[in-house]
């Protein structure tokens, strides 16, 4: 069962995704900020983190970089309502393995996250 960390400052988004991904067979933990995400990762083993780019304080790119340095086995997928190209994410040099635009279609998000968990480890979007 894949383990996912959802990092999003919007409570409704975290709650909805948590419920939906649990129904899709994921184990889910969540955080409202980058700082909280790093604390959660220290306490819970996860396979992949879905990180919103536009969180207050430490933004999503900074969170991705910290996860890459501190928890290198955790794969990071960035997310935002603002679309970014794969090239833009690559140039950010944050170690993300992908990008998912909001709003989500739960079945597509679930399949995408599973594919990133099962793929060989390498940063590419």
DSSP assignment string, 100-116: EESSP-HHHHHHHHHHH
> Concatenated DSSP letters for 33-56?
SHHHHHHHHHHS--SEEEEES--S
Check if the beta carbon of residue 94 is closer than 8 Å to that of residue 49: no
Q: How many of the other CB atoms lie within 10 Å of CB of 47?
A: 19
The pTM of the full predicted model, rounded to 2 decimals, is: 0.90
pLDDT confidence of 92, banded at 50, 70, 90?
low
Pick 90 or 108 by higher pLDDT.
108
Q: What percent of the chain has pLDDT over 90?
A: 70
> Strand, coil or helix: what is 5?
strand
Say if residue 42's pLDDT is above 70. Answer: yes
| Domain 3-118 indexed as CATH 1.20.120.400 | no
Domain ranges in the chain are 3-118
Task: Please compute the mean of the pLDDT values over residues 78-90 and round it to a whole number.
Answer: 71
């Amino acid at each position: 069962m894949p383990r996912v960390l959802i990092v999003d400052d919007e409570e409704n988004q975290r709650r909805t995704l948590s419920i939906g991904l649990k129904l899709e067979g994921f184990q889910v933990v969540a955080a409202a900020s980058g700082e909280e995400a790093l604390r959660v990762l220290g306490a819970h083993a996860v396979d992949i983190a879905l990180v919103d780019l536009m969180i207050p304080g430490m933004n999503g790119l900074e969170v991705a970089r910290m996860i890459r340095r501190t928890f290198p086995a955790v794969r990071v997928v960035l997310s935002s309502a603002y679309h970014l190209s794969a090239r833009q994410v690559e140039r950010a040099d944050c170690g993300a393995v992908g990008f998912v635009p909001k709003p989500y279609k739960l079945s597509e998000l679930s399949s995408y996250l599973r594919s990133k968990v099962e793929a060989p480890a390498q940063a590419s979007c």
